[in-house]
């Protein structure tokens, strides 16, 4: 979930938790009937909250993992991580159709994450806290919204992974994770769609499996399930969201004991929203790729660089470019 450490064992990756990528929200519609496409434009105008999951765009998993996230560090280790991310989006899609390609939505997100590894009942467990912060900026008018921005602290997250299989000798690991996102970030109801907080609780659950493929390659497979509380003050109405799911895979090549390259694929499903009792027909079926290079510049300090793009977006904003940077310090 967020740190990809390597020194073979230092591969526990705190993924730039993809801070809640452009979920699509809708504004209440009274008055005259609107065409389906216009309604989609309004729906997606309410789309950006900085959820603590570290990367937010229409296709993002709630917690987007990095290569090596499900390989634990030795018990007693402590990690401090800092993530920085910039993503730009110009295109908006509804049911697979391009609505606009000039929206200009940018996010600049940071995450501070603190993790400690310990033994509980014979199992390795890593309680942690994640503190997101950043800025969301809409550069061009979009539906009823004028250009605007929001910056500050996002919703904090607490959680842990428990490893049921932790076998470095056979290069096999399997862990279960649970996280809770708390509605404590900056939120302005009158600014509804453009906020760094979400004004709702979230529960995120993951199962992650990692296996070695010979001496130099590793494969990670992670499944995620997320459930959402209601936002009871979304532009003067209530916003609800169905549960969402995602599948994440990482294929990693070890260049040396200190450095690795990886290629990742993320696919998200579900998560349709309802605003003011009206279903928005905005469920996700979105995918993206990401390339990673990470290296230890000191025995306990790893730097990581990533670049990625959306592949397909069924509903929401499409990322043209994403750049992630991460520093991980082992104590």
Q: CA dist 144 to 26, 31, 43, 98, 149, Å?
A: 11, 14, 10, 19, 15
Question: Domains along the chain?
Answer: 20-330 (2.40.128.130)
Cα gap 228→38, rounded to integer Å: 26
Mean pLDDT of 296-310: 97
**What DSSP string describes 255-293?**
SSSSEEEEEEEEEEEE--EEETTEE----EEEEEEEEEE
The more confident residue out of 123 and 237 is: 123
Which of 3, 61, 66 lies closest to 247 in space, CA to CA? Answer: 61
Cβ within 8 Å of residue 234, ≥6 positions away? 25, 46, 189, 192, 199, 275
**Residue 35: pLDDT above 50?**
no
Query: What's the pLDDT tens digit per position in 183-192?
Result: 999 998 877 7
The more confident residue out of 326 and 5 is: 326
**Residue 53: pLDDT above 60?**
no
Least confident interval from 117-131, 142-156, 191-205: 142-156
Cβ within 8 Å of residue 171, ≥6 positions away? 210, 211, 212, 218
Query: What's the pLDDT tens digit per position in 267-293?
Result: 999 999 999 999 989 999 999 999 999
Cβ within 8 Å of residue 256, ≥6 positions away? none
Query: What's the pLDDT tens digit per position in 162-174?
Result: 999 999 999 999 9
Q: Within its chain, how far is the Cα of 307 from the centroid?
A: 15
Contact in structure between 50 and 201 (CB atoms under 8 Å): no
Which of 249, 113, 106 lies closest to 179 in space, CA to CA? Answer: 113
């Amino acid at each position: 979930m967020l740190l990809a450490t390597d020194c073979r064992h230092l591969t526990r990756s705190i993924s730039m938790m993809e801070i809640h990528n452009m979920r699509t929200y809708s504004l209440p519609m009274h008055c005259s009937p609107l065409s389906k496409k216009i309604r989609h434009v309004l729906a997606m105008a309410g789309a950006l909250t900085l959820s603590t999951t570290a990367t937010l765009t229409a296709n993002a998993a709630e917690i987007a993992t990095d290569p090596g996230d499900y390989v634990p560090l030795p018990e007693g280790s402590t990690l401090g991580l800092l993530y920085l991310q910039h993503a730009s989006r110009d295109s908006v899609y509804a049911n697979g159709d391009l609505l606009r390609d000039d929206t200009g939505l940018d996010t600049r997100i940071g995450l501070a994450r603190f993790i400690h590894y310990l033994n509980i009942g014979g199992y390795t467990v890593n309680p942690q806290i994640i503190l997101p912060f950043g800025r969301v900026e809409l550069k061009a008018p979009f539906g009823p919204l004028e250009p605007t921005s929001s910056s500050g602290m996002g919703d904090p997250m607490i959680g842990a992974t428990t490893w049921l299989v932790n076998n470095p000798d056979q290069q096999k690991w399997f862990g279960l994770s649970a996280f809770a996102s708390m509605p404590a970030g900056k939120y302005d109801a009158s600014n509804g769609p453009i906020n760094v907080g979400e004004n709702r609780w979230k529960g995120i659950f993951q199962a992650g499996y990692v296996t070695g493929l010979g001496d130099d390659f590793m494969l990670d497979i992670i499944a995620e399930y997320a459930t959402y509380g209601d936002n009871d003050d979304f532009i003067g109405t209530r916003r609800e969201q169905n549960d969402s799911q995602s599948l994440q895979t990482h294929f990693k090549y070890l260049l040396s004991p200190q450095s690795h390259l990886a290629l990742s694929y993320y696919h998200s499903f579900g998560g349709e929203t309802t605003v003011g009792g009206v279903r928005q027909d905005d469920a996700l079926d979105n995918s993206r790729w990401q390339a990673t290079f990470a290296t230890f510049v000191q025995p306990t300090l790893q730097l990581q660089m990533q670049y990625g793009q959306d592949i397909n977006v069924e509903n929401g904003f499409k990322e043209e470019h994403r750049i992630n940077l991460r520093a991980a310090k082992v104590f």
